[in-house]
Structure 1
Amino acid sequence: MEGMEDMYKDPVQLAEGINMRNLMENKLVEFSIDLDFKTKSMLSTSLDEDLFADIYDDSDSDDALVKIEESAEKMLLSSPEYHSFDQLSKKMIDCLPSGDVKLLIIEEGDGPLVPPDAEILIHHAAYYERCDIPFDTTLTMNKGQPMRIRLGVGKMLPGLEIGITHVKGPKARFHLLLQPAVAWGRRGILPRIQPKPVLFVITLYDVRCVAAASRFNDLPTAEQAKFETTVKTIKDLRAEAKDLFKRHKYVQAIRSYQQAMSVLSLSQPQNKSEEEEIKDLKVKMYVNLAICYYKVNKPKYIIGMCEHIDRIIDINKHCKAIFYYGRAHELLGRIDEAISCYKKALKLEPKNKEIGQILADLDQKNKQSAITEKVMWRKALCNEVEKEKLVYDVDGDFKDGVEDMCQELVGRNGYFKFDLPMGLTKDEVICIKDLTSKFDCLKVLEDGDGKKKKVSIIKKE
């Protein structure tokens, strides 16, 4: 029994796989244990070691770790120098009374604290005590690009969220020392995540307030009217809208820009400088809305936005606005108006290749349309294009003789074929074809080449 107990201290292997249907439906299920699995495993291991001991190489794994360490150093995410976490923690401030989250700011932004519901762009590297290589890092995720994460929705470790909201953005570098309780839990996630304190080295690249409109609505009316509140809210809404536009979510982007316009309408600037900035922001919002409406094929809405812009400034002096005014006209089939707008835009930005190409394409399209329209009207009025007048050198007697022959053939009843003498010149053949083409019932047939060419005139029934 002692031997059996020793054998099953480690996980055992079943002789056959488990059928899930049997587990779900049958009351009794038998399991067969492979009593020889230990022996087989030992034999297999020893055999593999004998055969491949000389060629086993873990250099790939070592190289990967070296690359991670180098990337961390390059991105300023290397583990700092310290004797112990206890010694390091003395330089940090507590983000919680319990001391489970400690913060050390290396570089802090000049903006407000990161909101608890913000969307952030970060890189991080997580280290155990006295380790130089991170066991968890964003450097190995997302193709090495910073991660964009929304706070307050359970996508981040609690301790990380707490620490990040104690930092001023939009850009910052800082360290967070987290106890297991606010990281992956007191038991960790074995075997990879140990239940130990973890040092996070973090670089914050950007902060976006995705709930800017809601927070603005919760403010008192007097606070909403303040210029500073307006500028901050507009900045957040624009960032949100730009991100949505970048991800091709144009309808949602339109909604964000419309919210921005509502915020601007409530603003009460106190001086000329603030008035000019509010005016500039309104123009930018209307232009961005026009671009979004172009993406969703709403030309009349684009024209509406452009008319709003023209009430604030002279639209003919704003390249992007007049350009999308042209886009709207083009979508509505008003090509002349579109070309006029594009020319004004190109005059403002002569080196803009996109506008130049659009004008060139429209010019070609107009030329082709004019030809098509002309042909269509000719067909409608039965006014086919006159055939090019043929030129040939024959004497008057030959021409008169061909005309008389044609008249005679036309006067005959039924089908008739008249063979012309061989040896006709090229001009004489052309003359015959030209004169017979005036009669629908006559047709010229040619057979052979050169002096042996046979030419006949057929009179159809």
Structure 2
Amino acid sequence: MASFKNALEGFKLKDLMSQDGMVFELGDDYIEEDEDEYHYKPGVTLNSDEMIKMINMEDSDGEEDDEAQNMIFTIGFETLKEKMSDISPNRDGKVLKLVKRKGTGDIIPHDAQVTIHYIGYLEHNDEPFDSTYAHGRPNSVRLNQGQLLAGLECGIKTMQKHEIAVFIVSSDLAYGKFGCPPRIPPNEDVLFVVHLFDFIDNGTLGTFENLTPEEKKMFCHVAKRVNDMLNTARASYQRHNIKMAIKEYKIAIDWLNGTVLKNEEEEQEMNKLLTKAYTNLSICCNKMDMPRLACVACNKSPEKTVKTYFNHGRALLKMGEYTRSMQMLQIANKMEPRNPDILKEIQLVNEKQRKYLDAEKRLWSKCLNTSKNQENTTDIQIAIRDLCDNFARDDGLLRQPLPEGLTPEEEGCIREYAASLNIHVTEHERMGTQRLYLNKSNY
């Protein structure tokens, strides 16, 4: 059986020469690079039901939004317009808007660079005439540079980061009296569904793009980008898009780790930002049941806060490290006494550890019985099943240690029953001691 080694903790030559092999655990991989969240594929168009589902990706913010959404493909634009707001510059109804999901932060600056997904539709036609999803990636364009239809750009300028909105654009602010044959007829109004992922203020962008490679690493230039990214990650977390938040916190951390500091004051400011990023990253990792990565983030935090110790303790609990979990939580409790969340987590650790020790005690009481009769063998099997069953039913545990000193026969019995529950038995070395653990498939 291959043994697991943490590459950061080192290994011995005999480990490499082992006949069973060795598996490295790498702590710096926060998350795999996933594809686009909604998994649209090139060349695939959306029917009306799929389009409605896409438009309503998040809960509606207005009382009438659901009704309006279901009307998009069943009635004409004129009726739909009654549900929309006029945002055209002259308030002449040439650009109308319906917010499907509110955004966060400020309205887009006049000439920002935006990253958007959009789908364009004609009236009574459930096949889009244009879609960035069909291209396989969002579109990044600079506003006020003539890169978009005038009406579409007018609508985008009213949006916030992460907003999803529906726009109806009059023909004279879209494709005009000639249209765009063969897909767009002359004098045709169009509908766009736009998802604004991000934007960069043109002033900030222009300043940063004009910097030399050395200047781009200076903390005074990096700090603003990092703060913007931390705000974006926080908004992703609030929208329950935890995977995206993890990626965004990792980007902020990478930017900070590549920063060149000129004095102690900048170092202190950078450490504050790193602490915030690593702590929030650990929260996200715990949320996604990735406790090992949460521990890595907590260990790398330059300034250990109450939240750092709390989330470190929570991660260790998921890994079945009850003693170490309690140590972290006690430190957090000392720093912030009577915090109800910390006290609740301490109580949870006590309950799970007591339950585990009781199961371990029952197992050892059977194992220490030297009698080899059928009755004793059955008792051992029952104790093993109780230990594995309790672990399998506990959604808060992803890993749990097995008692030390098991005989090969007892270990084999555990492996056999654990396999029937889709639970793995793995060997890890911690502090120079080999331990067997029960691991769930998602650990």
Which bracket does the TM-score occupy, shorter chain normalised? Answer: 0.3 to 0.5
More RCO (CA 8 Å, sep 6+): 2
TM-score normalised by the chain length of structure 2? 0.42
Q: Rg: which structure is higher?
A: 1
TM-score normalised by the chain length of structure 1? 0.41
